[in-house]
């Protein structure tokens, strides 16, 4: 069974515990369950991870690139959190694994928020972007990847 990797960046481990007006009341465990169920119905398995640090996210993108070339991975769903707006290193990691589809997801509509959230270092190297649909955005991204 091919795998979809779902990655989450800094502070997303706090989902459902604070700021429900911005990010809803679902926890990251709820997001994982949604991803597992959505992928299973489409015939894929899910590897789900969250990190508050750039390095492990970069390592996983590189690993996903090799697994994609080996035909084991369908693609990556990635909510980079605040690294979206700061990380040239994540941009470069995705650019370096040519071909690997990475779908950028944001729970909130970043374009309706502060100006510093309007720029993404990830979007130019993403295969698709899902913004502002709450945690359902993860399911939409998985559905999109399944058709790639
Ligand atoms: O809307 C999104 O998914 C974001 O990627 C969330 C990031 C934010 O920096 C991006 O601009 C947009 C923040 C994730 C922090 O998540 C928390 C959840 C609950 C409580 C505190 C933080």
pLDDT tens by residue, 36-64: 999 999 999 999 999 999 999 999 999 99
Please report the domains of the chain, with CATH numbers, ordered by start residue.
Answer: 3-146 (3.40.50.9100)
- Give the residue among 46, 18, 24, 42 at the shortest CA–CA distance from 106: 24
pTM, two decimal places: 0.98
Q: Calculate how far, in angstroms, residue 131's C-alpha sits from the geometric centre of ligand 1.
A: 12
Q: Calculate how far, in angstroms, residue 100's C-alpha sits from the geometric centre of ligand 1.
A: 24
- Cβ neighbour number for residue 113 with a 10 Å cutoff: 13
The overall average pLDDT reported for the chain is 97
- Cβ neighbour number for residue 86 with a 10 Å cutoff: 14
- Tell me which of 23, 83, 121, 138 is the catalytic residue: 23
């Amino acid at each position: 069974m091919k795998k979809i990797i779902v990655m989450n960046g800094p502070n997303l481990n706090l989902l459902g515990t604070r700021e429900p007006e911005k990010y809803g009341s679902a926890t990251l465990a709820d997001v994982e369950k949604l991803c597992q169920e959505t992928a299973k119905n489409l015939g894929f398995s899910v590897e789900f991870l969250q990190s508050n640090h750039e390095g492990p996210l970069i390592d996983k993108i590189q690993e996903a690139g090799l697994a994609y070339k080996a035909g084991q991975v369908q693609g990556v769903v990635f909510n980079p959190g605040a690294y979206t707006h700061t990380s040239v290193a994540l941009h470069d990691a995705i650019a370096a694994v040519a071909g690997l589809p990475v779908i950028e997801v944001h729970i909130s509509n970043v374009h309706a928020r502060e100006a510093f959230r309007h720029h993404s270092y990830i979007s130019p190297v993403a295969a698709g972007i899902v913004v502002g649909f709450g945690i359902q955005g993860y399911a939409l991204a998985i559905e999109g990847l399944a058709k790639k």
